[in-house]
């Protein structure tokens, strides 16, 4: 047996209760400061009713945050999820104060303008402060402070992938001390990583856990080893370490995998839409606001393009082509016509360099992506989104869905006018299968990890970013 070496622990590990209390005190202070700013910005006076509202707001937020899990550890979770839980907790404050003023008949004692400003400022400042703290902690962890000592049970392929993920995310502060495995060396999965040396067997792991040398254990044994897993879980329950089961699903194309339960039975999602419920509503609002603004700015250019197309070449102004929308539903996507032909059958030839079908005006429109301006009308109607996987012709979908694993998962969200693949250079012609696979890989990455801020980043990069790949002919 090899005794694991302990990483340098920061002061936060030794004073977790103090850190938790400081977090709550910081939130209360931010809420009070937001109220002070709101009163000052609205040029109102601080009254006894203001003090009452601030105190009630702090208490309501703290209670909602406690019940909603806002004060749990956020080390391995995203800022977007923390901000979402924070907003949910804060949403209880306006409703709680409205109920209080109604019951006490004191609504006239409060400035509506200052109150609304406070309701907007407080969650904004709370999110900013938490983001600053989060990234400060990430920096400390990346430099070796405030570490958690992690061990993996089972020398398996899943263990190797988990080890790689930990090594690539030093800001998590999860220091892998090694692996424990009962099997003989010739039966173990060979992991060629220095941080994956075997420290001992299962009994050694239990001994080290009880001795305080391990903070967290990840079980990466095959799920088929059910009886062995039950045995080790019983033994681990006699320690105080945190235990997680690596689900053995690394090789599956997961979409926003998360645990839930059905009648008390735990289940994990494999394929689930990333944009349902409140996320779908938020993205719809984004599309309506940004889409309306773009249409207002592009109205005159679109009229000029339509006239130019009609004057310079025979044929329709608008080209319509069947493509797949969300959930594989067929939609007709609009574009300004840029070719002398309008292909939309079982075989659709992609545009290539120096394609003779492209008109002189069409070549300019395709290079600048101005041929896609009519699609903003479909953003308003809800058929498309501004950001999402680019829709392909039906013929291309039918060809690639049998060649690329997970291809149709990109249709779990609305197709977009621009996307993560496009701003990374995966646009235009896909002459070989590996190019289409590269595009699909970025599309699925977007579907798994969607956030509003990411959408805004993609929009900015689409408008102002340099084109990495000129494959759009």
For the segment 182-190, the average pLDDT, to the nearest whole number, is 80
Q: Residues 334, 425: one domain?
A: yes
Q: Residues 112, 226: one domain?
A: no
Q: Residues 132, 35: one domain?
A: yes
For the segment 25-37, the average pLDDT, to the nearest whole number, is 95
pLDDT above 70: residue 6: no
pLDDT above 90: residue 449: no
pLDDT above 80: residue 347: no
Quick one: pLDDT at residue 258?
Answer: 65
- Proportion of the chain above pLDDT 90, given as a percent: 26
**What is the Cα–Cα distance from 447 to 412, expressed in whole angstroms?**
8
6 within domain boundaries: no
Contacts of 283 (CB under 8 A, 6+ apart): 275, 385, 450, 452, 455
Quick one: pLDDT at residue 174?
Answer: 86
Quick one: pLDDT at residue 8?
Answer: 44
242 within domain boundaries: yes
* 82-96, 214-228, 317-331 — most confident range: 82-96
Quick one: pLDDT at residue 342?
Answer: 62
Q: Residues 245, 287: one domain?
A: no
Phi, psi of 90, rounded to the nearest 5 degrees: -70, -30
Q: Residues 329, 185: one domain?
A: no
What is the band of 466 on the pLDDT scale with cuts at 50, 70, 90?
A: low
174 within domain boundaries: yes
Contacts of 318 (CB under 8 A, 6+ apart): 334, 335, 336, 337, 374
Q: Residues 130, 22: one domain?
A: yes
3 within domain boundaries: no
**What is the Cα–Cα distance from 427 to 132, expressed in whole angstroms?**
36
Q: Residues 390, 427: one domain?
A: yes
What is the band of 339 on the pLDDT scale with cuts at 50, 70, 90?
A: confident
440 within domain boundaries: yes
pLDDT above 50: residue 7: no
Q: For residue 221, what are the domain limits?
A: 148-251
Q: Residues 327, 447: one domain?
A: yes
Among 87, 109, 142, the domain boundary falls at 142
For the segment 38-64, the average pLDDT, to the nearest whole number, is 92
Angle, helix 48-67 to helix 112-142, in steps of 10 degrees = 40
For the segment 174-203, the average pLDDT, to the nearest whole number, is 84
Quick one: pLDDT at residue 25?
Answer: 92
Quick one: pLDDT at residue 253?
Answer: 60
Q: Residues 111, 187: one domain?
A: no
What is the band of 3 on the pLDDT scale with cuts at 50, 70, 90?
A: low
**What is the Cα–Cα distance from 196 to 177, expressed in whole angstroms?**
8
- Of 82-91, 315-324, 349-358, 387-396, the one with minimum mean pLDDT is 349-358
Q: Torsion angle of alpha carbons 464, 465, 469, 472, nearest 10°?
A: -20
pLDDT above 60: residue 400: yes
Quick one: pLDDT at residue 411?
Answer: 84
Quick one: pLDDT at residue 250?
Answer: 57
- Which tops the pLDDT comparison, 428 or 79? 79
pLDDT above 80: residue 341: no
Q: Report how many domains make up the chain.
A: 3
Among 105, 125, 142, the domain boundary falls at 142
- Of 161-175, 192-206, 227-241, the one with minimum mean pLDDT is 227-241
Q: Write down the pTM of the prediction.
A: 0.55
- Proportion of the chain above pLDDT 70, given as a percent: 83
Quick one: pLDDT at residue 458?
Answer: 93
Among 142, 159, 194, the domain boundary falls at 142
Contacts of 230 (CB under 8 A, 6+ apart): none
Q: Residues 67, 100: one domain?
A: yes
- As beta bridge partners, residue 154 has none
Quick one: pLDDT at residue 170?
Answer: 83
Burial of 452 (0-12, 13-18, 19+ CB in 10 A): middle
Quick one: pLDDT at residue 304?
Answer: 94
258 within domain boundaries: no
- The domain that contains 245 carries what CATH number? 3.40.50.720
Quick one: pLDDT at residue 11?
Answer: 46
For the segment 194-203, the average pLDDT, to the nearest whole number, is 84
Q: Residues 345, 435: one domain?
A: yes
272 within domain boundaries: no
Quick one: pLDDT at residue 433?
Answer: 83
pLDDT above 80: residue 51: yes
Cα 415–chain centre separation: 17
**What is the Cα–Cα distance from 285 to 278, expressed in whole angstroms?**
11
**What is the Cα–Cα distance from 88 to 68, expressed in whole angstroms?**
8
- Of 65-79, 304-318, 324-338, the one with minimum mean pLDDT is 65-79
pLDDT above 90: residue 387: yes
459 within domain boundaries: yes
Question: Count of CB atoms within 10 A of residue 192's CB?
Answer: 6
Quick one: pLDDT at residue 121?
Answer: 95
Q: Left if phi > 0, otherwise alpha if psi is -120 to 50, otherwise beta: which for 459?
A: alpha
Q: Residues 321, 456: one domain?
A: yes
Cα 115–chain centre separation: 32
Q: What would the pLDDT profile of 143-172 be if each residue is shown by its tens digit? A: 777 788 899 988 888 888 888 888 888 878
């Amino acid at each position: 047996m090899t005794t694991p070496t302990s990483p340098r622990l920061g002061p936060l590990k030794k004073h977790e209760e103090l850190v938790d209390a400081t977090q709550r005190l910081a939130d209360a202070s931010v809420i009070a400061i937001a109220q002070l700013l709101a009163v000052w910005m609205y040029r109102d006076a601080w009254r006894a009713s203001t003090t009452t509202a601030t105190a009630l707001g702090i208490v309501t937020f703290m209670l909602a945050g406690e019940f909603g899990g806002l004060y749990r550890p956020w080390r391995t979770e995203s800022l977007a999820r923390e901000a979402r839980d924070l907003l949910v907790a804060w949403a209880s404050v306006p409703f709680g104060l409205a109920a209080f003023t109604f019951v006490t008949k004191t609504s006239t004692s409060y400035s509506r303008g200052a109150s609304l400003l406070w309701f907007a400022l407080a969650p904004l400042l709370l999110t900013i402060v938490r983001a600053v703290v989060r990234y400060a902690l990430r920096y400390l962890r990346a430099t070796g402070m405030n570490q958690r000592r992690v061990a993996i049970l089972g020398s398996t392929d899943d263990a190797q992938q988990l080890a790689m993920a930990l090594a690539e995310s030093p800001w998590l502060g999860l220091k892998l001390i090694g692996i424990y495995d009962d099997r003989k060396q010739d039966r173990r999965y060979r992991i060629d990583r220095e941080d994956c040396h075997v420290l001992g067997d299962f009994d050694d792991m239990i001994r080290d856990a009880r001795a305080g040398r391990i903070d967290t254990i990840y079980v990466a044994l095959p799920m088929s080893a059910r009886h062995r897993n039950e045995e080790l879980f019983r033994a681990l329950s006699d320690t105080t370490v945190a235990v997680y089961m690596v689900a053995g699903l690394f090789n599956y194309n997961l979409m926003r995998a998360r645990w839930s339960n059905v009648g008390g039975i735990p289940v994990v999602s494999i394929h689930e839409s990333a944009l349902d419920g409140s996320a779908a509503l938020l993205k719809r609002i984004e599309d309506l606001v940004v889409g309306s603004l773009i249409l207002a700015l592009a109205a005159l250019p679109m009229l000029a393009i339509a006239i130019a197309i009609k004057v310079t070449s025979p044929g329709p102004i608008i080209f319509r082509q069947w493509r797949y929308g969300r959930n594989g539903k067929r939609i007709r996507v609009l574009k300004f016509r840029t070719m002398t032909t309008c292909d939309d059958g079982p075989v659709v030839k992609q545009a290539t360099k120096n394609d003779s079908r492209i008109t002189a005006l069409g070549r300019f429109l395709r290079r600048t992506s101005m041929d896609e301006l009519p699609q903003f009308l479909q953003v308003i109607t809800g058929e498309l989104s501004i950001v999402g996987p680019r829709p392909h012709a039906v013929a291309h979908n039918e060809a690639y869905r049998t060649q690329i694993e997970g291809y149709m998962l990109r249709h779990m969200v609305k197709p977009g006018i621009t996307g993560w693949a496009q701003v990374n250079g995966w646009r235009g012609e896909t002459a070989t299968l590996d190019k289409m696979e590269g595009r699909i890989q970025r599309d699925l990455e977007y579907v798994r990890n969607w956030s509003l801020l990411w959408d805004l980043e993609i929009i900015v990069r689409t408008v102002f970013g340099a084109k990495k790949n000129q494959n759009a002919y």
